[in-house]
Chain A
Amino acid sequence: MTPQPLLSVRGLVKSFGGLMATNHLDFDLRAGEIHGVIGPNGAGKTTFVSQLQGQLMPDAGAIVLDGRDVTFEPAHVRARLGIARSFQITSLVPSFTVLANVMLAVQGGQGHSFRPWKRAWTDERLSGPAHVALATVGLTHRALTPVADLAHGECRQLELAMALAMKPRLLLLDEPMAGVGRQDGVAMTDMIARLKGVTTIVLIEHDMDAVFRLADRISVLVAGRVIRTGTPAEVRADPEVRAAYLGHSH
């Protein structure tokens, strides 16, 4: 635990009405690791990610990214600081092509610039990185297809490509395997495995096999708080985790 964490969360609280979706949650993320977050349905995993990314603002607590307090920074500022996210429910620009969606993300990664006069589609600084990101996820052949015509699995791949295109320091993957067929799921797992060391990843996933295969460390979320953090082997062996979670489902 010697290196300073890339991301540090302390005492995070978020309630909806009476429901404590996040309940004094503490969380540390080491640079370069793939950190799995698991927990039963309703444990508050997506709420947690949304607060990391800035779509939801916490009621209390602190989120520190690389020494900088980002607790109440809006989403676009955090994105600028290097936090990227793929959504559990696909969130794309439907009338744009695959390439245009990735170009949008590239643009976000490059910071503010209107460049009102330059044609975007001939701008190598946009299309170059976009093509690289598409190649990484294996979507090159679909670059000029409108998003509306994509299959579900391809949308997930595109989500990932967009997140990568921002060259993030921290990648939040919210159920990248959700609703993906078995074969695509395997491909997605391989793809995430290849990202190990390239960027730091928080991986929320229901597919336990994938999480235990990919993650360096795993945090178990129950009722809005982390009950255990450790290596996959430690978590698998933990009696409290087994009781709260692993023993019942799966």
Chain B
Amino acid sequence: MAEFDPHLPRPVERLAPIVVVGLLAAVPPLAQVLGDPFLIKVATRVIVFAIAAVALNLVLGFAGMVSLLQAGLFGVGGYVVAIAAHHIFEAEPIGIAGLAWGGSADLALTLPLAAVVAGLMALVTGMVSLRTSGPYFLMITLAFDQMLYYGAVALQKYGGDDGLQILTPLTLAGWDVSNRWRFFYFALALLAVTLLVVGRLVGSRFGIVLRAAAENERRVAVSGIPPYPYRLAAFVVSGAVAGLAGGLLAAGQQFVSPADMHWVRSGDFVVMAVLGGLSTVWGPVVGAAAFVVLELLLSSWTQHWQLVFGLIIVAVVLSLRGGLADLVHLLGRSGGAR
């Protein structure tokens, strides 16, 4: 498992994120040539899910904690963008703590806001859930996810169960992003930044502690480092980026729904991270692509695609006898020895 080592960024690992982003960047021209604009929509979806899955992997793959809260934080970001736009459309200011805010349809403002709100939510829930570990952590994050889900369903003012439509054209600092190409490259740029940030985090002192604590918590404590603040910081960063991705999804499809906050969606994010391999920063991008393509192929084949998808998950987990670490290992090996 030398691929975990911070001192040995193998050439393939340094190039892989660039290759992945480069391949995605080629999609719109390709769609143009093929005369199939639907491809751009699919690739946008891949990018949005990839951002959330890469962020999740900071917590799951590197810090070794199975969080099922990612969809909830993802959804929080979506609701921030949608609600801000909704108030512009309704021309009805939002009152927060005595201040009135007219809302905004400018993503340059609402996307960072989505990240901040989701990050704060991660901070509060993380402070509680990170006091525990292992199965407790897993179950608590699952419960918090459902809490946010029920919270969104209870937002009658914003569509409740049915979700909330964005009826105002969104801009990015005055720049129209309803153009598919523009929105695509904007999202791709955010993915590239996410990969860069997570990559840096993982290779830093912070990352060393995070990864060491995942394997041997006692060793880290004996070295004079309490793992808790590191884990909390990772959890908050991961949550904030998830909120950003959720905001992007809402902006892209002009719609947000509690369905994207359901714990099953959190499970999907875990599957993406696992499919792509937990030991690399860029792996979840591949996982997200596999997930979206599989979703698309299966659902065009049968309306009961989730049945097939569930069976595929079971088969994948079952066929790797030493757990999914096997998959990571296999992928690591086929990725080229150093």
Contact = CB atoms under 8 A, between A and B. Distances in A.
Contacts of B206: 114-116
Looking at A92, A94, A96, the one whose CB has the most chain B CB atoms below 10 A away is A96
B6 to A, nearest CB: 5
Given A93-B215, A146-B1, A114 B220 contact: no
A144 B8 contact: yes
Interface residues of B, number: 32
Contacts of B230: 114
Interface string B210-224: 011001101111111
Interface in A80-110: 80, 84-85, 91-97, 99-101, 103-105, 107-109
Nearest to A86: B222
B222 A120 contact: no
The prevalent SS among residues of B at the interface is: helix
B2 interface: yes
Contacts of B223: 76, 79, 104-105, 107-109, 162, 166
A114 B205 contact: yes
Interface stretch (B145-153, B184-192, B196-204): B196-204
B233 A76 contact: no
Nearest to B5: A97
B209 interface: yes
B218 A91 contact: yes
Looking at B4, B205, B221, B226, the one whose CB has the most chain A CB atoms below 10 A away is B205
Interface in A214-247: none
Contact of B205 (A101, A118, A166): A118
B219 A91 contact: yes
B6 A100 contact: yes
Contact of A120 (B207, B225, B233): B207
B208 interface: yes
B7 interface: yes
A103 B2 CA distance: 16
Interface string B1-36: 110111111000000000000000000000000000
Contacts of A117: 200, 204
A104 B212 CA distance: 8
B7 A55 contact: no
A96 B213 CA distance: 12
A91 B216 contact: yes
Contacts of A101: 212
Contacts of A55: 218, 221-222
A7 interface: no
B157 to A, nearest CB: 38
Contacts of B1: 94-95, 146, 148
B209 A104 contact: yes
Interface in B173-199: none
A107 B219 contact: no
Contacts of A42: none
A2 interface: no
A92 B203 contact: no
Given A100-B7, A104-B208, A120-B208, A109 B224 contact: yes
A53 interface: yes
Nearest to A144: B7
B221 A79 contact: yes
A162 B224 CA distance: 12
A93 B219 contact: yes
A175 to B, nearest CB: 16
Contacts of A85: 222
A120 B224 contact: no
B209 A107 contact: yes
Nearest to B212: A93
Interface string A106-136: 0111011111111111010010000000000
Interface of A: 53, 55, 74-76, 79-80, 84-85, 91-97, 99-101, 103-105, 107-109, 111-121, 123, 126, 144, 146, 148, 162, 166
Interface pairs A-B: 6 shortest CB-CB:
A79-B224, A108-B223, A108-B224, A95-B1, A95-B4, A121-B7
Given A91-B222, A144-B7, 13 more contacts: A80-B224, A96-B211, A103-B208, A104-B209, A107-B209, A114-B204, A115-B206, A118-B204, A119-B203, A121-B7, A121-B9, A146-B2, A146-B5
10 contacts: A96-B208, A103-B208, A104-B219, A105-B223, A112-B225, A113-B205, A114-B230, A117-B200, A120-B208, A144-B7
